[in-house]
RNA sequence: GCGCCAGUAGCUCAGUGGAUAGAGCGCUACCCUGCGGAGGUAGAGGUCAGAGGUUCGAAUCCUCUCUGGCGUACCA
């Protein structure tokens, strides 16, 4: 039987119950309780959980906080989970987990394995996460890595929190950018066949376009060559996009990110196989029916100023081509009405934020599901070399690719670097420092802890020891119990990430869990007592400690896995 | 101009209503010489951009000011 609530919820329920008991007993007036009843105190000396409820109730109850604390504590007897409460001025109730409860959790972690901290918070709701979705006109750059790390980890955390998650990459294969891209590619392709043609105005000058043209020539020969002076023949654009998307997929694969679906923007304009209208036609029909469209200056506008926006937005240009905004409305029609997701999260770079409110309004107008759409913006990465800012632009030519970053520091360090920071935080990424400090990246501190745990289990097995049957009641030392307590926080961290969409909490937790292990592992050295080692002459104690080590390895491995990083057995 | 996101230790950043504001890196001292030293403990280092307000309590919420990034297209 899996516990579906976090420890924090259970303790909170105890406090709520005690408060109601006090009210029933007449020692407290009848007052309303807030949602959050307990928190994790910063100072370990204040217990595992603490409630400031007495302070918050003081006014409405018209009683001194300490008297309220007494009244609640009276109905909070020590039980299987917690010891007797401690009251601390000016009005806190401090609660500590009972020793035998903490010990027992080791057995539970081993029994449940990697899923030990999962929850049912999401109730199986279907969530779709769309992230990266960079234009298929060039390789991914370093900044795209941030979106990949955030989106992918968020998806994992949501899955752990009981949501049914789908990861998706939206391929913008329909817009004007792809026309320019095709023209540039075709120019490079002609150059590969010895023609002296210039790059188009506003084209993509990057060297990768030459590589792409070479690839195309090698695969297809001169099949795409039209008469000189003619525009790119049919298929050039599709071929180029296919090649680029292949590259992007490879890069993200190396980065540890895979998708359930690569969604083509063009497909939004195609009728379905069984004759249903395209998503684009269907979405526009709804808007028209509800009077949200108006023709003006030869273009078709969404009259979003009637829906709370500060201006209207063009849906179909005066030349008849739909805008990117139209595609996005159709895309969200597809997400909500065709595929029926309960919740949709788009992870976007902050340079898209001008697009946020109009998409929310447009989505609401078409699907009525505006509330289920969450647009998560991450601030752009400022690249630096030393103190100098590096300007990135596919069209300007200079790109620091995600591939190059991965090559320099490895996928794990790159991911962790991005995950440590809140999405809303602007990041300076010093390329020189990133390479120089890759060996000091905290990710190795976490992975090293995992490798040491694996090593202890290996060595013990070699000496004929096994965790099986170990009695966890033998584990009473503070550094042993502290390690278990730290593991028990994981379920709360997962729910925190899943509800706030802030993956950095997981990264910081990983460091803290690793610290607890390193401190545990060092304890016997500092005290110079070989009996404090995991593997000792005492067979029963050894087995018990091996259970702790096994559980810690499960917990740490799970954290690394959620962040999309490897959990090495040795380094 | 208007809008969005930020400003916390030397550097890069956590902390979004609770108790003495933290981590990594860098710096100093010490421990341990290992079941893996990519380790442990401690210390120095802070006007939480500034001012006012709300609250029993504010880095956290509100207002204003300053600074930085981004947006404000019939580009995506």
pLDDT-above-70 percentage for chain A: 95
Q: Which has more pLDDT, A50 or A387?
A: A50
Q: Is A437 (CB) below 7 Å from strand B?
A: yes
Q: Work out the average pLDDT over A83-101.
A: 93
Confidence of residue A20 (pLDDT cuts 50, 70, 90): very high
Nucleotide nearest to A512 (CA to C1'): B23
Task: Give residue A38's Cα distance to chain centre.
Answer: 26
Q: Is A395 (CB) below 7 Å from strand B?
A: no
ipTM associated with this complex: 0.94
Q: Work out the average pLDDT over A167-188.
A: 92
Residue from A121, A164, A562 nearest A344 by CA: A164
DSSP line for A6-29: -HHHHHHHHHHHHHHHHHHHTSS-
Nucleotide nearest to A545 (CA to C1'): B35
Q: What is the pLDDT of residues A480-512, one digit of tens each?
A: 999 999 999 999 999 999 999 999 999 999 999
CA at A188, C1' at B43: how many angstroms apart?
62
Q: How far apart are CA A176 and CA A294, in angstroms?
A: 24
CA at A43, C1' at B21: how many angstroms apart?
12
pTM: 0.94
Nucleotide nearest to A173 (CA to C1'): B76
Q: Phi and psi (nearest 5°) for A93?
A: -110, 115
- A436 pLDDT exceeds 80? no
Q: Is A288 (CB) below 7 Å from strand B?
A: no
CA at A432, C1' at B49: how many angstroms apart?
29
Give the H/E segment covering residue A294. strand A293-296
Residue from A271, A414, A427, A273 nearest A350 by CA: A427
Return mean pLDDT, chain A.
Answer: 90
Residue from A55, A58, A53, A56 nearest A75 by CA: A53
Confidence of residue A398 (pLDDT cuts 50, 70, 90): low
3-state secondary structure of A201: coil
Q: What is the pLDDT of residue A1?
A: 36
Q: Quick one: tokens of A214? A: 């070479």
Q: Work out the average pLDDT over A74-103.
A: 91
Q: What is the pLDDT of residues A357-389, one digit of tens each?
A: 999 999 999 999 999 999 999 998 877 766 666
CA at A256, C1' at B12: how many angstroms apart?
24
Residue from A195, A176, A185 nearest A233 by CA: A185
Q: Work out the average pLDDT over A72-76.
A: 93
Q: How far apart are CA A555 and CA A567, in angstroms?
A: 11
Q: How far apart are CA A2 and CA A183, in angstroms?
A: 58
Q: What is the pLDDT of residue A310?
A: 84
DSSP letter at A113 equals G
DSSP letter at A82 equals B
- A4 pLDDT exceeds 70? no
């Amino acid at each position: 039987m899996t516990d579906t609530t976090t420890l924090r919820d259970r303790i909170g329920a105890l406090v709520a119950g005690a408060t109601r008991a006090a009210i029933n007993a007449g020692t407290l007036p009848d007052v309303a309780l807030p949602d959050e009843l307990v928190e994790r105190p910063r100072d370990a000396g204040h217990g595992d959980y603490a409630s400031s409820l007495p302070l918050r109730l003081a006014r409405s109850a018209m009683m001194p906080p300490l008297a309220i604390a007494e009244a609640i504590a009276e109905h909070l007897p020590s039980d299987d989970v917690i010891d007797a409460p401690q009251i601390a001025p000016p009005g806190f109730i401090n609660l500590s987990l009972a020793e035998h409860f903490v010990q027992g959790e080791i057995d539970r972690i081993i029994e449940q394995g990697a899923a030990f901290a999962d929850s049912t918070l999401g109730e199986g709701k279907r969530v779709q996460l769309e992230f990266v979705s960079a234009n298929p006109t060039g390789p991914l750059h370093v900044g795209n890595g941030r979106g990949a790390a955030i989106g992918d980890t968020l998806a994992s955390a949501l899955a752990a929190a009981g949501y049914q998650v789908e990861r998706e990459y939206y391929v913008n294969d329909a817009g004007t950018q792809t026309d320019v891209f095709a023209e540039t590619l075709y120019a490079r392709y002609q150059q590969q066949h010895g023609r002296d043609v210039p790059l188009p105005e506003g084209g993509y000058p990057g060297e990768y376009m030459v590589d792409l043209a070479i690839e195309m020539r090698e695969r297809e020969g001169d099949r795409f060559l039209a008469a000189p002076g003619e525009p790119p023949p049919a298929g050039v654009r599709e071929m180029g996009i296919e090649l680029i998307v292949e590259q992007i997929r490879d890069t993200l694969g190396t980065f540890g990110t895979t998708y359930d679906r690569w969604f083509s923007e063009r497909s939004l304009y195609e009728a379905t196989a069984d004759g249903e209208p395209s998503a684009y036609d269907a979405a526009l029909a709804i808007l028209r029916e509800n009077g949200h469209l108006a023709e003006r200056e030869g273009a078709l506008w969404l009259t979003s100023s009637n829906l709370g926006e500060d201006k209207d937005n063009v849906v179909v240009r005066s030349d008849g081509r739909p805008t990117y905004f139209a595609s996005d409305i159709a895309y969200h029609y597809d997400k909500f009405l065709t595929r029926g997701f309960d919740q949709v999260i788009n992870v976007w770079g902050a340079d898209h934020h001008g697009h946020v409110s109009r998409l929310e309004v447009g989505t609401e107008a078409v699907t009525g599901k505006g509330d289920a759409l969450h647009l998560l913006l991450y601030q752009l990465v400022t690249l630096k070399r030393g103190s100098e800012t590096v300007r990135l632009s596919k069209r300007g030519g200079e790109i620091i690719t995600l591939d190059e970053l991965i090559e320099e520091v490895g996928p794990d360090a790159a991911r962790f670097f991005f995950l440590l920071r809140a999405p809303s935080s602007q990041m300076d990424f010093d390329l020189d420092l990133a390479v120089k400090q890759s060996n000091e990246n905290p990710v190795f501190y976490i992975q090293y802890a995992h490798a040491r745990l694996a090593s202890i289990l290996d060595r013990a097995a070699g000496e004929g020891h096994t965790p099986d049957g170990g009695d966890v009641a033998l584990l009473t030392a503070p550094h042993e119990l502290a390690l278990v307590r730290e593991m028990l926080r994981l379920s709360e961290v997962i729910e925190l990430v899943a509800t706030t969409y802030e993956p950095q909490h997981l990264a910081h937790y990983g460091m803290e869990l690793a610290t607890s292990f390193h401190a545990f592992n060092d304890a016997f050295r500092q005290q110079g007592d070989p009996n404090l080692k995991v593997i000792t002459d005492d067979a029963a104690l050894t087995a018990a400690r091996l259970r702790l080590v096994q559980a810690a390895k499960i917990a740490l491995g799970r954290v690394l896995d959620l962040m999309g990083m490897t959990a090495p057995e040795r380094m």
